[in-house]
Amino acid sequence: MAITELDAIHHVHHDADGDERLSATLVDAVASLADTDPADLPPLETRINVAALDGLWDTDSPEPPASGCLTFTYAGYVVVVRSTGTVFLRERDGD
């Protein structure tokens, strides 16, 4: 997994054809940015329905998935998941 930084917005591409679930890609990316072990992060289930996230654009259709994105916060990051498989991460501003 390669995380790219663009003006404090980090992104990683999830390979929908690979074996790893989207939720695992997301947690691994946040752990890498936070310089911590994924097990030390709060459970992703506290922020979003993980099964729904993993299946959001995972279809058996030969057509590409419909365009869209999902935005939520997790472990101090604003997360934007696009239907293209790109996950954008930005540190949340202090509340």
Is residue 95 assigned to a domain?
no
Is residue 53 assigned to a domain?
yes
For a pLDDT cut of 90, what percent of the chain falls above it? Answer: 54
Is residue 57 assigned to a domain?
yes
Please tell me the total count of domains within the chain. Answer: 1
Is residue 39 assigned to a domain?
yes
pLDDT of residue 78: 95
Side-chain half-sphere CA neighbours of 47 within 13 A: 18
Is residue 90 assigned to a domain?
no
pTM score above 0.75: yes
Checking if the pLDDT of 67 tops 50, the result is yes
Mean pLDDT of 6-28: 84
Say how far apart CA 37 and CA 28 lie, in whole Å: 8
Mean pLDDT of 54-59: 76
Is residue 32 assigned to a domain?
yes
Domain span holding position 15 = 11-84
Mean pLDDT of 78-94: 88
